[in-house]
Amino acid sequence: MQASHQPPPMPAEQPQRFSSRERTVNDFSIQVATVNGSGSQTANLVLMRSIFQMGVPVSGKNLFPSNIQGLPTWFTIRASRHGYIARKKEIDFLVAMNPESAREDVLNLPAGAAVLYDEPLQLASLRSDLHFYAAPFDKLVAPACPEAKLRKLVRNMIYVGILAELLGIDSEEIRKALYKQFGERKKKAADLNWGAVQAGIEYARSSLVKSDPCFVERMDQNAGKLVIEGNTAAALGCMFAGVTVCTWYPITPSSSLAEALIAYMERFRRDPETGKATFAIVQAEDELASIGMAVGAGWAGARAMTCTSGPGISLMSEFVGLAYFAEIPVVLIDVQRVGPSTGLPTRTAQGDTLKNAVLSHGDTRHPILFPSSPEECFSMAVEAFDLAEQFQTPVFVNMDLDLGMNYWMSDPLPYPEKPMNRGKVLTAEDLERLGGFARYRDVDGDAVPYRTLPGTPHPKAAYFTRGTGHTETAAYSEKPEDWSANLDRIARKFQTLRAHLPPPVQSLAPGAKIGIVSAGTSRYAMEESRDQLSRDAGLEASWMRLTAYPFPPELEAFIEQHERVYVIDQNRDAQLLGLMRLDLPARLLEKLRSVRYYGGLPLDARTVTEQILAQEAQQA
C-alpha cells in the first residue's frame, strides 16, 4: 500500500485482519536497515529509549557485519507488553534506508508488515501485501540541516520522527531520549538532530496516512530500570569487584568491555589530584600475553582479569592449565562469538561451554559463571573475583555477543553486599606466629591451601611456583603418589567450591512431564517459549536456568523429577548437554534431549518451541 497525500484505495488482496484496522499495541518488532558506518546507531537508540521511557518493555539488537563501513547492518527493536525481549523472527515494521539490502529485506517480510523507505528506492511495487510509507529523506533533511556536510549525520533522525508519529510515541519522550543520548556537552548537535526529528514528525503528519496496525501506548513496566549493554554492566562489575589488574587484547565482542572498564576506572579509580591510579589496564601484544600478565598479577596478589572471545581463549589454553595446577587466581570473561577460526565474529553463540570447562591439557576443570542479564553480568563479575581468590583458581564468566553488545533493560546494578573475599593469604605476622607454611597442604580439610604473596617480608614466606610435579611444600617431585595426591586435592577443592556458586533459578510447573535446562541468554527465548508451549500445545514445562558450572546438586533432582529434560544449546554439538553427560550419573542421561540453534543470531522462542514440539511428537 503506497502511502501518499491522498488515502490510497485498499487493494483487494489486503489481508483481512488489517483492513479491520485491528490495533497491535506494544507488541511488535521494528527493524532499521542501514549501511554500516552511516551513523544510524544514535537514531536507533533514541527510538528504543523513547519506547522504553513510555514504560513498554523493549530490547535492542544490533545485527552488524564484520566490516567498518559499507556493508548492510540492521538494528531490531522489540517492544513487548508481555515482557518478551528475545529476538523475534518476524519483523512488523521495516525502516529501509539501505539500497543494497532493501529489496531482500522487503521480500522477507511477513504479509501485513509495514515499510518506511527512502523514496528513491521505489520499493512499493515489490509487494502488495505490505503497508508502504515513502519519505524523501534527502529533501527533508536539507531545510532541517542547512550545513550540507552534516546532513549525512542527522538524516537518520528523520525516520525517528516519522516512526514516532506513525506509532504514537510521545514526541516529548523522543526529545528527552535524544538529549540524554547526546549529553550536556553536545547540545548543539542535539539541537540539530531534534530539528530533524521534528521534520520527520511534520512530514508524517502532513503527508502520510497511517494504515499499519502497530501502536505504542504508555505502560508502567520500566520504573527504575536501566537500558545498558552487558559489556558495560560486566565492566562495572569488575570495577566494583575491586579489580586491580586487567590485561586484554582487542577482539569483538569483548573489546567494548575492556574499553568501558578503562573509561570507568579512569573516572573513579584514579586520584584526580595526584593522577595516581589504583589499577593497571594493559593492552597486551596478544592473548597469550594478556593471560600471562593476568596470571603473573594474580600470583603476586592482584585482583587480576582478562576479557576476550573464543579465539583468544584458544590461545590462553596453556596458561589456564598452569594457573589451575599452580593454583593461581585469575578471572577470564569470555564474550562468546561464532567460531571456529574467525568464524562469524559479529554473531552470537555459546560455543565455548565445553572448552572453558576443561581448557588446557591434562586433568583440568574450571568453574564457569553464566550470566543472563546485565544485573548478572555485574553481580557475577563480583562473584568471579571472590571465587578466584577464595579457591585460587581460574574462573570463567561465559557471556556472549548478544548479552555483551546488545541493549537490555535491567534492574539497577546491585551494590555488592559482601566484603571482598581475598582468600587464604598469609602475612609476615601469620608466618611469624605459625613458624612457616606448606604451600600445597590441605590444612583446613576443605582442600584449599594457604598462599603467600611475593614481597612478603619474612624469611619463611617464599615458595617456588611451578607447572611441574610438586609436593605439599612446593618442592619438585616426579613421584607418582605426589602427583596423584595433589591432583586429587585439587579435585576436592573443586567440590568445595561447588557450594559457593550462585544457585540455579528454577520454575517448576506443577505436574509437568518435561523440563528444560538453559544457561545464559537462552533465558529470553525460554521465557517466551514456555508460554508458547503452554498456549499453543497445552504442554507445561518446568525450567531450570543454570547460573554456574560445576552443576548444582539441584540439577540432578530436577532431572529426576521429569520424564524428559530438554537442554538448550547455542552451538552445533550440544556442549552444555555434553558437559552434563560427563558429570551426571548415568541413570539420568537417557532423559536428556537436545535443543540446538547455531545460526549466529540471538536465540528466538519459536526455534525452541518447534524443536521441543517435534521431539515430543515423536515421543507420542
Partner 1 sequence: MSSTPATPPKVNRIGLDLLPYRGSKTTLCAGCGHNAITERLIEAYWELGIEPWTVAKLSGIGCSSKTPAYFLQQAHGFNGVHGRAPTTATGALLANHTLRAVVVSGDGDTASIGMGHFVHMLRRNVPLVYIVENNGVYGLTKGQFSATADLGAKLKTGATNPLHAVDLCLLGIELGATFVARSFSGDKRQLSAILKAAIAHKGLAVIDVISPCVTFNDHEGSTKSYAYMKDHDEPLHEVDFIPSFADVEVEYEEGESRLVELYDGSKLLLHKLERDYDPSNRIHALEVLHEAARRGEVLTGIIYLDTSRPSFTEILNLCDEPLALLAEDRVRPSRETLELINEEFR
Task: For the segment 228-267, give every residue that binds partner 1 (CB under 8 A).
Answer: 228, 236, 239-245, 247, 264
Find all residues with CB under 8 Å of 352, minimum gap 6, and list them. Answer: 310, 313, 334, 336, 398
Among 46, 123, 289, 403, binds partner 1 (CB under 8 A): 289
Per CB under 8 A, which of residues 557..596 are in contact with partner 1? Answer: none
Angstrom CA distances, 174 to 196, 210, 379, 549, stand at 12, 19, 32, 43
Tell the smallest beta-carbon distance from residue 298 to partner 1 (Å): 8
Q: How far is the CB of 300 from partner 1 (least distance, A)?
A: 4
Q: Does 318 bind partner 1 (CB under 8 A)?
A: yes
Choose, by CB under 8 A, the member of 81, 458, 498, 581 that binds partner 1.
Answer: 458
Q: Segment contacting partner 1 (CB under 8 A): 16-24, 211-219, 416-424, 509-517?
A: 416-424
Of the residues 353, 452, 607, 611, which one makes contact with partner 1 according to CB under 8 A: 452
Query: Residue 184, Cβ neighbours under 10 Å: how many?
Result: 8
Residue 474 phi, psi dihedral angles, 5° rounding: 70, 20
Tell me the C-alpha distance between 363 and 383, whole Å: 25
Complex with partner 1: residue 127 or 269, whichever CB lies closer: 269
* Four-CA torsion 117, 122, 127, 131, nearest 10 degrees: 40
Which string of x and - marks every residue 465-484 that binds partner 1 (by CB under 8 A)?
xxxx------xx--------
Contacting partner 1 (CB under 8 A), which of 10, 434, 453, 589?
453
Q: Specify whether the backbone of 424 is left (phi greater than 0), alpha (psi in -120 to 50) or beta.
A: beta
Question: What does residue 406 show for φ and ψ, rounded to 5 degrees?
Answer: -100, 170
In the bound complex, what is the minimum distance in angstroms from residue 286's beta carbon to partner 1? 6
Residue 254: closest CA among 348, 335, 344: 335
Q: Which of residues 103-142 bind partner 1 (CB under 8 A)?
A: none
Question: CA 52 → CA 23, 93, 228, 563, distances in Å?
Answer: 20, 17, 12, 40
Shorter beta-carbon distance to partner 1: residue 300 or 537: 300
- Residue 247 or 607: the one with the smaller Cβ distance to partner 1 is 247
List the interface residues with partner 1, window 210-229 (CB under 8 A).
224-228
- Cell numbers of 416, please? 555488592
- Which helix (H) or strand (E) segment holds residue 283: the answer is strand 280-283
Contacts of 49 (CB under 8 A, 6+ apart): 177, 180, 181, 227
CB of 264 to partner 1, least distance (A): 8
- Which one of 411-419, 488-496, 503-511, 536-544 is the stretch in contact with partner 1 (CB under 8 A)? 411-419
Site string for partner 1, 160-199 (x = CB under 8 A): ----------------------------------------
Q: Which is nearer to partner 1, 286 or 560 (CB)?
A: 286
| Least distance between partner 1 and beta carbon 462 (Å) | 5
> Which among 130-138, 294-302, 485-493, 546-554 is the span making contact with partner 1, rule CB under 8 A?
294-302
Judged by CB under 8 A, the number of residues near partner 1 is 74
Question: φ, ψ for residue 5 (rounded to 5)?
Answer: -65, -35
Measured from the CB atom, the residue of 140 and 409 that comes closer to partner 1 is 409
Which amino acid is located at 43 in the chain?
A
Residue among 72 and 292 whose Cβ is closer to partner 1: 292
Q: How far is the CB of 158 from partner 1 (least distance, A)?
A: 27
CA 77, CA 526: separation in Å to the nearest integer? 19
CA dihedral of residues 294, 297, 301, 303 (deg, nearest 10):
-40
509 and 542 Cβ atoms separated by less than 8 Å = yes
| DSSP letter, residue 98 | -
Q: Is 424 in the site for partner 1 (CB under 8 A)?
A: no
Q: Cβ closer to partner 1: 204 or 409?
A: 409
Strand partners, 72: 35
For the stretch 184-190, contacts whose Cβ atoms lie closer than 8 Å and that sit 24 or more positions apart, written own/partner, are none
- Of 280, 315, 485, 505, the one binding partner 1 (CB under 8 A) is 280
| Of residues 300 and 614, the one with the C-beta less far from partner 1 | 300
